[in-house]
Amino acid sequence: MNKSELCAAIAENSNLTKADSGRALEAILSAIENALKAGDAVTLVGFGTFAVKDRAERLGRNPQTGAEITIAAAKIASFKAGKGLKEAVDG
């Protein structure tokens, strides 16, 4: 499912137009992004938690030459599924 299909599904399951559901989705994604930028976690009970994790510097290999390279430390966005989502997916 891509973004436009998700907007259509939101519109179908609510009393919103596709345009309104698109704006609502953009607002939700923007709010999550802004919270993560600020270092906060976003928890949606029953769905999951979006958080920022620190990835340590590590050694890797250049696949073309086989030479060792240092991969810099980075902050990454992560998602951990909640119990409700796990149960829904597992069936």
* In the chain, domain spans: 1-40, 41-91
Task: State which H helix or E strand residue 55 sits in.
Answer: strand 48-55
Selected from 3.40.50.970, 3.40.50.300, 4.10.520.10, 3.90.79.10, the CATH number assigned to the domain covering 41-91 reads: 4.10.520.10
42-55 per-position pLDDT tens digit:
999 999 999 999 99
Give the mean pLDDT of 37-44. 96
CA 77 from chain center: how many Å? 7
Give the mean pLDDT of 7-29. 94
For the chain, percent of residues with pLDDT exceeding 90: 97
Whole-model pTM: value is: 0.80
Kindly state the tokens that stand for 72. 């810099």
The pLDDT value given to residue 91: 74
